[in-house]
Amino acid sequence: MDFEKLDVELSKIVQLRIKLSEITYADPNYDDIEEELHDLEDDLNEEFGDELEGKLEDIYATLVSDNDVLLPSAYLANKYVPMLPDARGVITYDVQGREGVPIESEQFDGQDVRIVLVPNPTRFVMVINGKSLKDLWRSR
């Protein structure tokens, strides 16, 4: 899997999601941005879907969850928090709140556990009760 390309494509999606969250439906650009976002998400699923779904299956097995693995784009958060750029100028992101796909596991009985896809580096993050707690898989 080309992790560099994955990070670039995922970052584009996250930037568009952030842009969409800052405007209203009444904005004349809303529909165009949303359409571009959906196209990028479809491309992500097509190009990286099989490999990312394999990683998710491993995660679900480790967490002993009976939930079905969804397409990678389903694990994207609606809102991302950009962090300060690193020495190379690459911005990484954090997720706060109830974002991502909920999963059920007896290991986390009674807690709101979710998995969310985050770029730079690409990783699946476990969010418990609205707080990002653990990287479940990292691209590097």
Residues 28-56 have pLDDT tens digits of 999 999 999 999 999 999 999 999 999 99
Q: What is the pLDDT of residue 126?
A: 95
- For the chain, how many structural domains are there in total? 1
- pLDDT of 25 strictly over 90: yes
80-105: pLDDT as tens digits? 999 988 888 889 999 989 999 999 98
Q: For the chain, how far is it from start to end, CA to CA, in angstroms?
A: 11
- pLDDT of 132 strictly over 90: no
Range of the domain at 106: 3-138
- pLDDT of 64 strictly over 90: yes
Percent of all residues in the chain with a pLDDT value above 90, rounded to a whole number: 82
Residue type (1 letter), 122: T
Residue 102, CA distances (Å) to 56, 66, 68 in order: 13, 12, 11
Q: What is the pLDDT of residue 51?
A: 96
State the pLDDT confidence band at 22, using cuts at 50, 70 and 90. Answer: very high
Q: What is the mean pLDDT of residues 14-41?
A: 95
Q: Are 94 and 80 in contact (CB under 8 A)?
A: yes
Q: What is the pLDDT of residue 60?
A: 96
Q: Are 57 and 69 in contact (CB under 8 A)?
A: yes
Residue type (1 letter), 31: D
| φ, ψ of residue 42 in degrees (nearest 5) | -60, -40
